[in-house]
Amino acid sequence: METETLGNRKSDEGNTASIMEKSYTVSAVTSKDGTKIGYRQYGHGPGVILVMGAMGTAHNYDQLARALATDFTVYVPDRRGRGMSPREYSTDHSIQMELQDLDSLLAHTGAHLVFGLSSGAVITLEAARVSPSIRKAVLYEPPFYLQGFPVDLMARFNNEVGQGKLAAALVTLGKIVRLGPALLDLVPRPLLELATARVLRVEQKKGTGKYASLRELIPATRFDVRVVAEMDGKVESFNAVKPEILLLGGTKSPTYLKSALAALETILPNVRQDELEGLDHSGPWNSDQGGNPELVAQSLCRFFRE
């Protein structure tokens, strides 16, 4: 395993002056198949790894990492295919590759605590089942489809990305993840695609600051969709998970995500659940992206300190 320092950066994000003054370092490890997994490192203390979901990079979790950094050393990797961890998507991608990426970080950092959001929570839970390195894990709304994963939509999404039809692909992705308002189901698809194409043009013109662009994130989401689809129908296998698990979700999140958490609560042998008032699926993200990282960090700190 190899580590390289990519440099030091100072962030101007944060909720208070004291948080804003904390810097982070950027490094990388090499996964089993040679993929470089870049990560940010914040703070001091016991190690915590944050495993991101789709449609974001490490910067989306900057405020959450800073909120934890007073008590923990926080590692925020970019998952393969985005940001600091470039990798072309392949149809043979599997969750095993994601587990190897996480295992490379666990081995290098010595961390035993893991947090995962969405598809990252699916990866985290499977890692907790098979890895002896994880002692505690927090799962924020893993998207287990108890009524069956929409495989037909996944095929359409992958085809649209492959053809460079990113607006169409984002509309299809919305129908897979079902995070938008129900009213969108009544809007004709051609109108949704036109509106989405306009969003992409505006973003390209104005830029995204420190956040990754939709043109980068949409293709990378193929990794996430593949992982979630691969784990479809395997919820019962998690009755063998040994580490302590905290299930987190928001009161404003879709019903199917709440149902997945309820199902896991009955299956996992060492589990507790906490619902966070006023939050939705973006709860762990920075506040300017619709999150409330301070509230999420409070739950993580209580659980990880016990």
Rounded CA separation 153/163 (Å): 15
Question: Which is higher by pLDDT, 8 or 150?
Answer: 150
Domain edges within the chain: 3-146+234-305, 151-227
DSSP string, the chain: --EEEEEEE----SSSHHHHT--EEEEEEE-TTS-EEEEEEE-SSSEEEEE--SS--GGGGHHHHHHHTTTSEEEEEPPTTBTTB-----TT--HHHHHHHHHHHHHHH---EEEEETHHHHHHHHHHHH-TT-SEEEEE-----TT---HHHHHHHHHHHHTT-HHHHHHHHHHHH--S-GGGGGS-HHHHHHHHHHHHHHHHHH--TTSPPHHHHHHHHHHHHHHHHHTTT-GGGGGG--SEEEEEEETTS-HHHHHHHHHHHHH-SSEEEEEETT--TTTTS-GGGT--HHHHHHHHHHHHH-
Residue-wise pLDDT for 107-157, tens only, equals 999 999 999 999 999 999 999 999 999 999 999 999 999 989 999 999 999
Average pLDDT over residues 276-295: 98
Distance from CA of residue 193 to its chain's centroid? 25
Question: Residue 47: which pLDDT band, with cuts at 50, 70 and 90?
Answer: very high
The packing angle between helices 214-230 and 95-109, to 10°, is 100
Residue 35 is predicted with a pLDDT of: 97
- As given in the structure block, the two tokens for residue 36 are 């470089």
Residue 43 pLDDT exceeds 90: yes
Question: Residue 184: which pLDDT band, with cuts at 50, 70 and 90?
Answer: confident
Q: Is 273 exposed, middle or buried (0-12, 13-18, 19+ CB in 10 A)?
A: middle
Residue 256 pLDDT exceeds 80: yes
Residue 79: CB partners within 8 Å, gap ≥ 6?
A: 37, 51, 52, 85, 98, 101, 120, 220, 223
Residue 180 is predicted with a pLDDT of: 85
Select from 24, 22, 57 the least CA-distant residue to 208. Answer: 57
The packing angle between helices 151-162 and 166-177, to 10°, is 160
Q: How does strand 73-77 pair with strand 36-42?
A: antiparallel
Residue 18 pLDDT exceeds 60: no
Residue 245 pLDDT exceeds 90: yes
Residue 21 is predicted with a pLDDT of: 47
Residue-wise pLDDT for 83-112, tens only, equals 999 999 999 999 999 999 999 999 999 999
Residue 12 is predicted with a pLDDT of: 39
**3-146+234-305 maps to which CATH number?**
3.40.50.1820
Residue 22 pLDDT exceeds 90: no
Residue 291 pLDDT exceeds 80: yes
Question: Which is higher by pLDDT, 12 or 196?
Answer: 196
Average pLDDT over residues 47-68: 98
Average pLDDT over residues 258-267: 97
